[in-house]
Structure 1
Amino acid sequence: MTILSQNTQVTYYGTGRRKESIARVKLIPGSGKLIINGLPGESYLQFSPNYLRISCAPLKTLGLTNEYDIYVKTEGGGLTGQTDAIKLGLARALCRINPENRTALKSEGFLTRDARVKERKKYGLRKARKAPQYSKR
Structure 2
Amino acid sequence: MSDTRQSLSDLADLAGGQPVQGDAPAPLSQEPVTPLREQQIDAQGRAYATGRRKDAVARVWLKPGTGKIEVNGRDQAIYFARPTLRLVINQPFDVADRREQYDVYCTVTGGGLSGQAGAVKHGIAQALTRYEPALRSAVKHAGFLTRDSRVVERKKYGKAKARRSFQFSKR
**Which of the five TM-score ranges fits, normalised by the shorter chain?**
0.7 to 0.9
Matched, 1:130 2:169: no
Match of 2:54 among 3, 13, 19: 19
Structure whose residues are more often strand by fraction: 1
Tell me the CA shift for residue 108 of structure 1: 0.8
Gaps of 5+ in 1: 1-7
One-letter amino acid of the counterpart of residue 42, structure 1: A
Tell me the CA shift for residue 69 of structure 1: 0.4
Scaled by the length of structure 2, the TM-score of the pair is 0.71
Match of 2:144 among 96, 110, 114: 110
C-alpha distance in structure 1 between counterparts of 2:67 and 2:164, whole Å: 47
2:74 alignment counterpart? 39
Tell me the CA shift for residue 56 of structure 1: 1.2
Matched, 1:77 2:111: yes
User: Radius of gyration: which is bigger?
Assistant: 2
* Equivalenced residues, count: 129
Gaps of 5+ in 2: 1-42
RMSD: 1.4
- 1:47-68 CA-to-partner distances (Å, cap 9, x unmatched) read x221111101101111111211
